[in-house]
Structure 1
Amino acid sequence: MDFFSEIIGETVVLGIDSLILGFCVKQLSKCKHILNALQTAPILDIDSTLNTEINKYSDHVIPYVVIRGLVKPLGNPIVSNYNNTVTGVIQRLTIKEHVIARTSAGFWSDQTRTIHEVCNATPFVLNNGKYSIEVVDALAAELLDLDVISDKFEPMSPGVIDHVWGFFSGVRQRGLQTMEEMLRDGSYITAIGELSRTNTGALKIQPPRDGLPLYLTTATKSSLLKRLASSRDFLRILLVVFGAVAVLASGRVAYKYLKRRKRRQLEDSLKRQLAAGRKERRAHAREKNLTDVQLCVVCSENPKEIILLPCGHVCLCEDCSENIKDNCPICRERIEARAPAFIT
């Protein structure tokens, strides 16, 4: 049996585990990088000292900074679709379909599918009195805390045909959920990102250029640090678990390989013993005092016992035939087959 067929199960487990392990290592590295950057990020106030702080950095850019302020639109704000008294600077409208679907095991389970999502945004700043910072590319934020303005669920009333069709198709409709979320005008949020000053002297905060995430959240820096530390610890646990699985699977493969190798060594040893026994029995059974014509052309000790095909020369004993694989020693024609020859 081929060795790969013996370890197919371990190979599949090891392959899947390696992919998960690689993903966990990548995420852990990213989490540590963000955690270290956030720990050293300065917390600045939106006031007259901001320009002094930014002058301390080259190119007037602070790579990662924590700033809190009030959300204020630059121009007309976005008006809520479901509440005219609510305005904001970012709006997310989501339509989700709730269904009961039959799983491959034959059970029915509730599932939710997003069938439509749209985001609207208007330019805005973080304000504190007469000082402000423009927020650039807010929709690219990795963490964007929005308030739920409306969350409506409209159940469906399926008829008999719908029930029959759902039974055969494996999907039964429950209803549609429509949700509206907004970053409200006047919200007090924390912005974490790259702070820079333009040629006109205006300040702006945007996604960092070194791959760090932009955060627009109501949480504080300490809360985010705790959340990231919790994620880091969870990823470490996953690394230990999937690392142990990788070690077990690798150990299983190594065990089967060594077992197979030992079995082959025993088989080879048995073959050598059998070959030695056959050689010894041939030596006892061979005739003595043969003429030169009857002797092997290679060793000149044992009688000629093998016929070479297709040339047909009978010139080798069985012992020498095992070592000569390519060409006939008489005519140099390629050996394609050999057979015992009985000379009387």
Structure 2
Amino acid sequence: MDYLGEAIALGVDAIIFGACMKQYLKNKNAMSMIQGAPYLDIDKDLKEIVQTHPDQKLSYVSIRGMVKPMGNPIVSSNNPKVSGVVQLLRIREHVIQRSTAGFWSDHERLIQEVHNVMPFVLDSNGYTVEIVDPVAADILDMDVISDVFTPTVPSVMDHIWGFFAGVRQRGVQTTEKMLRKGTMITGIGELVASKDGSTLKLQPPTNEAPFYLTNMQITSLVRKLDDTKKTYRWLCLLFGTVGLVLGGLMARRFYKDYCKKRDDLRTREELERNRVERRRRVRDDDLPEIHLCVVCRINPREIILLPCGHVCLCEDCSTGIVDNCPVCRSAIDKKSAAYIS
């Protein structure tokens, strides 16, 4: 318990540092893989290139083409003139919540999130590559079709209930995003040929490499990841330094406490040896039997036991007898020094 505060602070810092380091390494590895991935044009030679590789698969490539639905596209719920292949509908509740300290702060609650997906391909000059599981992409760039915030008009009872419950609703935000048909996007992932070799598919890599469907060019994507990597690197340095400082302070305090306890123990042992030796020198070697300790029969009686009042123990033996008087077996409540003249 002596180091509980420092231990909690160090633990929180270690968790944050670990999360930042994980994101830093993730972005660093993603940059390396993207820069090493070959860029292939969607043309008549692409299918032959894939089929010449083992298992008719290219583990990590980048391609670029126009989004084209493989059926009737999804029509926007808020704008009938807009259609696409991936639709995201999200409803969030905005509330003001009272903390344990009594302060009110804004919070968001996700009420519902729905993805609607229409199978689609990337098209380039009539040659196509089907996209598999686009929702699983690490980056899926979609246009915001609608983002509406509807404020709540609370009644008097709502104010009273919110005060006692500690939660007040501010409003509901409804957002619609869509990957529109005709959008030029860059797909980075695993390129495979179907079993019959008739179609090509871009899917999330089986080696857990990142999967991207973005409207950015490769250079822009790498630049974005590099900026994110630099941010996490600085955060790693910051929280790593804080962790080292906290660890150093804890180690310094532990060492000081350890040295203090060690010195106190040595001091007590030295004082005890001096006390025993001093008492041994001042004791009378020729004591009557009635003045000897009833336990060791060597040292003089020096301790009175209360409440029975028996003076029957020397100081050395009294340290090991804490429950009952050795003479009358009464419970010992207190020990005091006795002086027999």
Say which of 248, 251, 256 aligns to 1:254.
251
**C-alpha displacement at 1:185, in angstroms?**
1.2
**1:59 corresponds to which residue?**
55
SS in 1 for 2:245: helix
Q: Relative to structure 2, which stretch is displaced further, 146-155 or 34-43?
A: 146-155
SS in 2 for 1:44: coil
**1:148 corresponds to which residue?**
144
Structure 2 residue 209 is matched with structure 1 residue 212: yes
Alignment of 1:106-255 (within 5 A): 106-201=102-197, 202-255=199-252
Structure 2 residue 33 is matched with structure 1 residue 21: no
**2:73 corresponds to which residue?**
77
Amino acid across the alignment from 1:134: E
**C-alpha displacement at 1:318, in angstroms?**
8.5
Instruction: Give unmatched runs, 5+ long, in structure 1.
Output: 291-301, 308-316, 325-338
Would you say the 8 A contact 1:135–1:204 is kept in 2? yes
Amino acid across the alignment from 1:235: Y
1:37–1:287 CA distance, 2 compared to 1 (3 A):
same
Would you say the 8 A contact 2:51–2:193 is kept in 1? no
Amino acid across the alignment from 1:304: I
Say which of 277, 299, 308 aligns to 1:305.
299
Hey, what's the Cα distance between the residues in 1 that align with 2:79 and 2:119? Answer: 21
Would you say the 8 A contact 1:193–1:207 is kept in 2? yes
Amino acid across the alignment from 1:223: S
Structure 2 residue 275 is matched with structure 1 residue 278: yes
Structure 2 residue 29 is matched with structure 1 residue 36: no
**C-alpha displacement at 1:193, in angstroms?**
0.7
Hey, what's the Cα distance between the residues in 2 that align with 1:154 and 1:24? Answer: 35
1:102–1:303 CA distance, 2 compared to 1 (3 A):
closer
Amino acid across the alignment from 1:169: A
Would you say the 8 A contact 1:146–1:183 is kept in 2? yes
Please, what TM-score do these two structures have when normalized by structure 2?
0.79
**1:293 corresponds to which residue?**
none
State the identity as a percent: 45
Please, what TM-score do these two structures have when normalized by structure 1?
0.79
Hey, what's the Cα distance between the residues in 2 that align with 1:284 and 1:106? Answer: 68
CA-to-aligned-CA distance 1:116-163 (integer Å, 9 cap, x gap): 111111111101122100000111111111112223333333333333
Hey, what's the Cα distance between the residues in 2 that align with 1:96 and 1:282? Answer: 81
Would you say the 8 A contact 1:145–1:217 is kept in 2? yes
Say which of 2, 8, 25 aligns to 1:12.
8
Would you say the 8 A contact 2:91–2:112 is kept in 1? yes
SS in 1 for 2:153: coil
Would you say the 8 A contact 1:92–1:120 is kept in 2? yes
Q: Relative to structure 2, which stretch is displaced further, 199-208 or 43-52?
A: 43-52
Hey, what's the Cα distance between the residues in 1 that align with 2:315 and 2:94? Answer: 80
SS in 1 for 2:251: helix
Amino acid across the alignment from 1:77: P
**C-alpha displacement at 1:228, in angstroms?**
1.3
Hey, what's the Cα distance between the residues in 2 that align with 1:63 and 1:246? Answer: 39
Hey, what's the Cα distance between the residues in 1 that align with 2:155 and 2:38? Answer: 61
Root mean square deviation of aligned Cα: 3.3
SS in 2 for 1:148: strand
**C-alpha displacement at 1:190, in angstroms?**
0.9
Would you say the 8 A contact 2:96–2:170 is kept in 1? yes
Alignment of 1:314-325 (within 5 A): none
Would you say the 8 A contact 1:91–1:121 is kept in 2? yes
